[in-house]
Amino acid sequence: MKRAIFLDCDGTIIVDKGYLSDPHDVMFEPDAVAGLRAMAASGFALVVVSNQSGIGRGLFPRTAADAVNGRLAEMLLQRGIALAGIYICPHAPDAGCHCRKPQPGLILQASAELDLDINGSFMIGDKQCDLELARNVGATGILLTTGAGAKTEGWARENGFGVCTSLLDAMGCVQKP
């Protein structure tokens, strides 16, 4: 079993533009690429877990989301970083699915398919749902203050989560496997 770093997408890896549906709008957060490169070099599987409810809300088709996610994977590959997978919840918040964060579905599916050690893994994101997801599956949650993260910093500290300013900074919270 391999340890993973589960990563939120919007506000964590890329700038959160709100229901992103155009591949041209994929822009990295500061130090995201350097952080991901260091994490991959440390032997972690890098797995994106993302709520993309714009699909379920009818704002854009699944194909648009796939194009954005494909563009992200391609831009990372061009920078020498291979993602182990991108797992998305396409459902609307009221759909009652088991994959919308903080429900554990995405991480459970990824872990089964990629043979990952969830308890030895990390979940990094900019929202409370990302940290609650970490807690729900028994991974270690880290809040980034990028994206919407500043709003959740107080709650994260009160609840014992690590708080970092970028993915590169988060490397300091992530031990070598």
Q: How many CB atoms lie within 10 A of CB 126?
A: 25
The residue among 3, 2, 7 whose CA lies nearest residue 125 is: 7
Between 64 and 131, name the residue whose CB sits nearer to Mg ion.
Answer: 131
Q: Does residue 91 belong to the site contacting Zn ion (CB under 5 A)?
A: yes
174 binds, among Zn ion, Mg ion, none (CB under 5 to 8 A by kind): none
- Of 8, 16, 126, 130, which residue is the catalytic one? 8
Residue matched to tokens 């203050």:
145
State the Cα–Cα distance between residues 100 and 94, nearest whole angstrom: 10
Q: Is the sign of the CA dihedral 168, 103, 99, 19 positive or negative? A: negative
97 binds, among Mg ion, Zn ion, none (CB under 5 to 8 A by kind): Zn ion
8 is catalytic: yes
Between 34 and 97, name the residue whose CB sits nearer to Zn ion.
Answer: 97
Between 5 and 99, name the residue whose CB sits nearer to Zn ion.
Answer: 99
Span of 11-19, 25-33, 83-91, 165-173 interacting with Zn ion by CB under 5 A: 83-91
10 binds, among Zn ion, Mg ion, none (CB under 5 to 8 A by kind): Mg ion
Contacting residue, 14, 26, 89, 156, with Zn ion by CB under 5 A: 89
Between 106 and 168, name the residue whose CB sits nearer to Zn ion.
Answer: 106
Strands ordered across the beta sheet of 45-51: 85-89, 45-51, 4-7, 122-125, 140-144, 162-164
Strands (E), 3-149: 4-7, 45-51, 85-89, 122-125, 140-144
Q: Is the sign of the CA dihedral 44, 11, 35, 174 positive or negative? A: negative
Which spans of this chain sit near Mg ion (rule: CB under 5 A)? Answer: 8, 10-11, 126
Active site residues: 8, 10
Binding residues (CB under 5 A) for Zn ion: these are 89, 91, 97, 99-100
